[in-house]
């Protein structure tokens, strides 16, 4: 059993579960973000090409939900853990920006950021808190802007992903919190870790293979950790 207080380097991987207690529905839970659609129907470039308005509105709905949300005790516990740990990397699959709001410093957003929009045709991108009903036109080339997130079938940002792999392979402990560990390559990070502590309300495909599997909510377990 590794004592977190002794760990010199810690990597953390978070998923939608850490934002659930901030009122943001998870992807696959009850009343999840996908409730009326299957993930592949919305979070894909094909869906955006087929119906940009529908996909854009879905992200607009999420932006509004997220704008009203506050970081919770789970996010704040990770800020505290970062303060106490010599080498610390927070890898998140979440695009909601609540880790930034909570005060985490070293964050690797492997699935992008809902508060970014980027051009569907050129390399233009910008921070975007707008809530325009239609996908706005790119000021550089006129093509439609799209949410700055990684969709299914799209590759993860190269630099960020390489840093995440390095952080996990060099860490004494990988703390995995609030993820179903079903989406790859993110879930593959668990295979790179020396020692994994999992925090989840339910079992995941990794629960019986991690060193420690803590059953409970992030908001309750992480502060205790």
Residues with catalytic function: 111
Work out how close the CB of 135 gets to Zn ion at its nearest, in angstroms, rounded to a whole number.
12
Tell me how far, at minimum, the Cβ of 77 lies from Zn ion, in Å. 40
Cβ 71 vs Cβ 219: under 8 Å: no
Footprint (CB under 6 A) of ligand BV8, residues 62-91? none
Size of the site for ligand BV8 (CB under 6 A): 34
CB distance 92 to 14 below 8 Å: yes
Comparing CB distances to ligand BV8, the nearer of 28 and 87 is 28
Locate tokens 């992480």: which residue? 222
CB of 51 to ligand BV8, least distance (A): 15
Distances (CA, A) of 76 to 46, 174, 180, 220: 37, 18, 21, 11
Shortest CB 143 distance to Zn ion, Å? 5
User: Which of ligand BV8, Zn ion, none is residue 19 near (CB under 5 to 8 Å by kind)?
Assistant: none
List the helix and strand counts (H, then E) for the chain.
9, 9
Q: Which stretch binds Zn ion (CB under 5 A): 40-48, 109-117, 137-145, 174-182?
A: 137-145
Indicate which of ligand BV8, Zn ion, none lies near residue 179 (CB less than 5 to 8 Å, by partner kind): ligand BV8
Q: Which one of residues 10, 12, 24, 43 is an interface residue with ligand BV8 (CB under 6 A)?
A: 43
Report the distance separating Cα 224 and Cα 208, nearest Å: 22
Q: Could you give the CA distance from residue 187 to residue 190 in angstroms, rounded to a whole number?
A: 6
The label of the residue with tokens 């998140």 reads 92
Q: What is the Rg, in whole angstroms, of the alpha carbon atoms belonging to the chain?
A: 17
**Shortest CB 139 distance to ligand BV8, Å:** 24
User: Choosing among ligand BV8, Zn ion, none, which partner's interface includes residue 135 (Cβ < 5 to 8 Å by kind)?
Assistant: none
d(CA 100, CA 172): 24
Element (H, E) at 92: strand 87-92
Q: Which stretch binds ligand BV8 (CB under 6 A): 2-10, 12-20, 79-87, 137-145?
A: 12-20
Query: Is residue 125 close enough to count as binding Zn ion by CB under 5 A?
Result: no
H or E segment and range at residue 58: helix 52-67
Q: Given the rule CB under 6 A, which residues bind ligand BV8?
A: 15-17, 20-21, 26-29, 32, 43, 93, 95, 111, 149-155, 178-180, 182-184, 186, 200-202, 204, 217-218
């Amino acid at each position: 059993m590794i004592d977190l207080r002794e760990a010199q380097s810690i990597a953390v991987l978070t998923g939608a579960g850490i934002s659930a207690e901030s009122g943001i529905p998870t992807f696959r839970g009850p009343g999840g973000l996908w409730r009326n659609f299957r993930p592949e129907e919305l979070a894909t470039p094909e869906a955006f090409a087929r119906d940009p308005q529908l996909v854009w509105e879905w992200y607009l709905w999420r932006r509004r939900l997220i704008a009203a949300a506050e970081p919770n005790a789970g996010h704040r516990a990770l800020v505290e853990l970062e303060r106490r740990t010599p080498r610390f990397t927070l890898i998140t699959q979440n695009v909601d920006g609540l880790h930034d709001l909570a005060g985490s410093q070293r964050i690797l957003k492997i699935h992008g950021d809902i508060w970014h929009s980027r051009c569907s045709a050129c390399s233009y991108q910008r921070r975007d808190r707008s809530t325009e009903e239609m996908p706005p036109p790119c000021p550089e080339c006129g093509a439609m802007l799209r949410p700055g997130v990684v969709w299914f079938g799209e590759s993860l940002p190269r630099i960020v992903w390489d840093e995440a792999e390095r952080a996990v392979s060099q860490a004494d402990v990988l703390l995995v919190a609030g993820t179903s560990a079903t989406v790859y390559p993110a879930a593959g990070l668990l295979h790179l870790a020396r020692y994994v502590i999992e925090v989840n309300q339910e079992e995941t495909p990794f629960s019986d293979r991690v060193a420690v599997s803590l059953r409970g909510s992030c908001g309750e377990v992480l502060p205790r950790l």
